[in-house]
Each structure stands twice: as C-alpha cells, then as structure tokens.
Amino acid sequence: MPKALAQRNLPLHHVMSAVTGVTGLRMLRAIVAGERDPRTCAQERDYRLTSSPDTMINALEGAYRPAHICTLNQALALYAFTQQQIAACAQEIERVLGTFASLIDLDAHPCPLSGVGF
C-alpha cells in the first residue's frame, strides 16, 4: 500500500503512524470507493490522531489516476486476504495448543521455578 500511495503522491505515512490502522483503512477504502474530496476523506480521521485536520487534508491531495486506484484497490484486497490468513493460522495454533492443556495438571504437578535461571 505505501507504494500505491507514493505513486498517487499521497504522503499519508507522514501524517499517521500506520496506514493499516482504523483511520488509514477507512480513508483508503473511501478513496477506492470513489471519494476524491480530501476534506471528506479527512472526516474519517480518528480523534486520537495527532495530525491536525488541515495536515490530513494536505496529505490527501494527490493524483487520482485510475491505474493508481486499481493498484491501491489490489493492495487493500491483498492486505485483507493476508489478515484473514493470519487469523486462520492463529485459530489453528489455538486449536493445537488446546490439545496440550490436558497433558499436564499444574495443580498436581506445579512447575518448579528454582534453578531455572531467572
């Protein structure tokens, strides 16, 4: 996504810590959905963001060429897919770890902490 934003001359990474945060994703989705007014996009800004609304508006003024919007749309789709894959992997890890819970009864056999090197 940073490359797609750089191609469009949108320095959002300079005004927010993560373009993949709540505010950044809301703005990017609005742009992909067809919103071109920087003031309207800046309204998606979370109140906790330290950058001023004017700074955000300036960062949202850029080139809106169809090819760049297409690239940004693909980057958003790839990000969403990656997040889904990470969530699925986390669920599988939790499932597998759940099978280990019955192997040790910590009440009956507490782990000794002496001699561990802490």
In a domain, 112, yes or no: no
In a domain, 45, yes or no: yes
Whole-prediction pTM value? Answer: 0.68
Number of structural domains in the chain = 1
pLDDT (0 to 100) of residue 19:
78
In a domain, 113, yes or no: no
Q: Is residue 7 within 8 Å of 14, Cβ to Cβ? A: no
In a domain, 88, yes or no: yes
In a domain, 33, yes or no: yes
Distance CA 15, CA 113 (A): 47
Check pLDDT > 70 for residue 86. yes
Distance CA 72, CA 50 (A): 25
Task: Tell whether the torsion through CA atoms of 37, 10, 78 and 96 is positive or negative.
Answer: negative
- Which domain covers residue 87, as residue numbers? 2-99
In a domain, 23, yes or no: yes
What average pLDDT does this structure show over 9-30? 77
In a domain, 44, yes or no: yes
In a domain, 86, yes or no: yes
